């Protein structure tokens, strides 16, 4: 059977990345409490293509996923990415897994359990060296210090989001990044709250008023203190409740005590 993809191309234009994206696929990731968690990821997989090849072998991307049987751990990401690069005879391979991750949380007063969702991304690239960035997106509550100061009663509060991206020197649990973010907002969010819980979290936020700048700096300090992290990027977004816009702050830093992944 004729292999059209392997035909020579005369246009002499190499392609930086070619592959598949928007692929939904079941995966298994590490869970600190339950050992493993099954979820569904949206996946992008790509490789570089030399100028003399007409096309890549799209079916091989899925074959690589199947070989690893859906097990996508941080420690295994380099093996998956390198295997993809070798299978497709590429100089460079890049993979992104985006997936919802669920943690068992407990209401602060009643201690009632429920699941909270956090969005996670594993991005990896392998050429001569390996690069891996883990991102967690964590919803939090923020309360405006200015509104609290100038109001006779109450203050405007809203849902915010803290996105933490990190390069790791040593393994860090997804749960640990979530917990850092939740500590740095005015108060964490919960899926299930009874009235006494609602009173608690409302007052917790009121007593811990923070601008997005405050949340960003507190998150940065927590990450700076973590010796297993060599680089981080933080973005805080507040969906303002009394303004017709969002407020945001972000920064990116290499950590002095860190090293390459």
Length of the chain: 261
- Check whether 25 has a pLDDT greater than 70: yes
Q: Report whether 239 contacts 158 (CB < 8 A).
A: yes
Q: How confident is the model at residue 259 (pLDDT cuts 50, 70, 90)?
A: very low
Q: Report whether 47 contacts 18 (CB < 8 A).
A: yes
Whether residues 157 and 63 fall in one domain: no
Boundary residue ending a domain (128, 145, 178): 128
- Domain of residue 169, CATH code: 3.10.270.10
Whether residues 66 and 85 fall in one domain: yes
- Check whether 56 has a pLDDT greater than 90: no
Q: What is the DSSP letter of 154?
A: -
Whether residues 117 and 150 fall in one domain: no
- Predicted local confidence at residue 162, as pLDDT: 98
Q: For 210-241, how does the pLDDT look when each residue is reduced to its tens digit (9 = 90+)? A: 999 999 999 999 999 999 999 999 999 998 87
Q: Where are the beta strands (DSSP E) in 130-245?
A: 130-143, 157-168, 187-188, 229-239
Partners of 42 in the beta sheet?
24, 98
Residue 17 domain boundaries: 1-128
Q: For 143-196, how does the pLDDT look when each residue is reduced to its tens digit (9 = 90+)? A: 999 998 898 888 888 999 999 999 999 999 999 999 999 999 999 999 999 999
In the three-class reduction of DSSP (H, G, I as helix; E, B as strand; rest coil), residue 69 is classed as coil
Whether residues 51 and 25 fall in one domain: yes
Count Cβ atoms within 10 A of the Cβ of residue 11 and give its class: 0-12 exposed, 13-18 middle, 19 or more buried: exposed
Whether residues 109 and 225 fall in one domain: no
Distance separating the N- and C-terminal Cα atoms of the chain? 43
In the three-class reduction of DSSP (H, G, I as helix; E, B as strand; rest coil), residue 157 is classed as strand
Boundary residue ending a domain (103, 128, 153): 128
Whether residues 164 and 82 fall in one domain: no
Whether residues 167 and 104 fall in one domain: no
Question: How far apart are alpha carbons 137 and 119 in whole angstroms?
Answer: 5
The domain total for the chain is 2
- Check whether 209 has a pLDDT greater than 70: yes
pTM, full prediction = 0.90
Compare 111 and 4 and report the one with higher pLDDT.
111
Tell me the two tokens of residue 81. Answer: 């990415």
Half-sphere exposure of 225 (CA within 13 A, CB side): 8
Whether residues 13 and 120 fall in one domain: yes
Whether residues 205 and 148 fall in one domain: yes
- Predicted local confidence at residue 260, as pLDDT: 41
Q: What is the DSSP letter of 176?
A: H
């Amino acid at each position: 059977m004729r292999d059209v993809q392997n035909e020579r191309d005369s246009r002499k234009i190499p392609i930086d990345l070619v592959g598949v994206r928007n692929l939904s696929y079941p995966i298994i990731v590490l869970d600190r409490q339950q050992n493993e968690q099954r979820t569904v990821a949206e996946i992008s997989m790509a490789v570089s293509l030399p100028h003399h090849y007409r096309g890549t072998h799209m079916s091989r991307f899925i074959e690589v996923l199947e070989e690893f049987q859906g097990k996508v751990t941080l420690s295994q990401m380099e093996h998956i990415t390198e295997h993809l690069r070798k299978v497709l005879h590429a100089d460079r391979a890049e993979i992104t897994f985006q997936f919802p991750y669920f943690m068992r949380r407990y209401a602060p007063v009643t201690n009632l359990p429920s699941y909270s969702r956090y969005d996670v991304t594993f991005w990896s690239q392998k050429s001569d060296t390996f690069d891996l960035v883990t991102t967690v997106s964590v919803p939090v509550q923020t309360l405006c210090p200015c509104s609290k100061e100038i109001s006779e009663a109450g203050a405007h509060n809203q849902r915010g989001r803290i996105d933490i991206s990190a390069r790791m020197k040593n393994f860090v649990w997804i749960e640990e990044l979530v917990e850092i973010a939740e500590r740095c907002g005015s108060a964490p969010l919960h899926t299930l709250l009874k009235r006494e819980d609602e009173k608690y979290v409302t007052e917790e936020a009121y007593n811990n008023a923070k601008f997005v700048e405050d949340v960003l700096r507190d998150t940065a300090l927590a990450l700076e203190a973590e010796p297993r992290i060599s680089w981080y990027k933080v973005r805080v977004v507040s969906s303002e409740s009394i303004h017709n816009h969002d407020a945001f702050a972000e920064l990116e830093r290499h950590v002095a005590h860190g090293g390459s992944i």
